[in-house]
Amino acid sequence: MRSYINELYARIEKDAELKNNVKIIGIAVGNNTNDIAFEEKKYDFPILADDKLEFHQLVGEPPTPFFIFARPYGKGRLLVLDSYLGRLEDTDKLFSMVKSAFKMSTTKSFVTINKKTDDKVREELVIPVTESELMKKVSLSLVVEGEHPDKIKKINLKELGDVYTGVAGRSKRRIFARVVARKIPCVDCHDVFYIYSFDDTGKFIKFIPISISKLNNEEWDEKDINKIQNNFNGKSLLKERHFNPKVDAISSATISSKLIYNSMGETELVMRKLIDMGYIKR
């Protein structure tokens, strides 16, 4: 992508109308500052790290590349003027889109018409298994000390998805299983679906994939699954864990692995919701 984006940057810098009014910023989805240090040398414009995928989630978790044309709009806000999803190596077309977006940004009527009053509801991903198959996996994730939970209850946490809970084990511990569905930031990749379970202290118990693929749409094998299980086994999910792709990633599934770590990092937020709802006593 380097050549045509750099060419677009050069054309903007040479245009008297755009030079001081239009800037290009790259967002490196799922990468930290160390990851992008080398990549930054390839581009003539700044690249910002989105290690925790916060920006990616904010814009609806689209595949990449994804172009957003926006202008400042009020304190700390941006107004989207146009967008384009997919690889667009036509610099002339990109430059034309920049020109059009810039002209829109100076039109008062456009700002008035397009002012948003409500957040757009994010499109929900559909779990690619039947309800019966899903419940089998959920039940398996809630097994403690060889015992299945007596009763399983479903809790909807809205944007955080569904969490199932039950009491299991000799100590009659309350266990939670979160079903995760995540859009993957890659045009050629498939979305990620999995379950992970934890107890009422935030301690990890089990990882069970629903549908996770790697290169060439190959499903994860037992070795891949065990690597995630062993990486988290017996550890607290309430402690921030930095994802190191060289150590933690499944071969040929780096982005999927990153998303799994990212979602498990939301466990503290999940538990706060469960505490507020009375499922966890404090």
Residue 107's pLDDT band, with cuts at 50, 70 and 90, is: low
Alpha-carbon span 29 to 61, nearest angstrom: 10
User: Of the spans 33-42, 48-57, 208-217, which averages the highest pLDDT?
Assistant: 208-217
| Amino acid (one-letter) located at 96 | S
Number of CB atoms found within 10 A of residue 230's CB: 10
- Of residues 63 and 136, more confidently modeled: 136
Structure tokens at 25: 């910023």
What pLDDT does 119 receive? 38
Residues in Cβ contact with 231 at an 8 Å cutoff, skipping those fewer than 6 apart: 248
pLDDT at 206: 97
pLDDT-derived band at 190, boundaries 50, 70, 90: confident
Q: Answer yes or no: is pLDDT of 217 > 70.
A: yes
3-state secondary structure 77-143: CEEEEEEEECCCCCHHHHHHHHHHHHHHHCCHHHHHHCCCCCCCCCCCCCCCCCHHHHHHHHHHHCC
Position 122 pLDDT exceeds 70: no
pLDDT tens digit sequence for 220-270 = 999 999 999 999 999 999 988 888 888 998 988 888 998 999 899 999 999
Closest CA to 148 of 173, 171, 168: 168
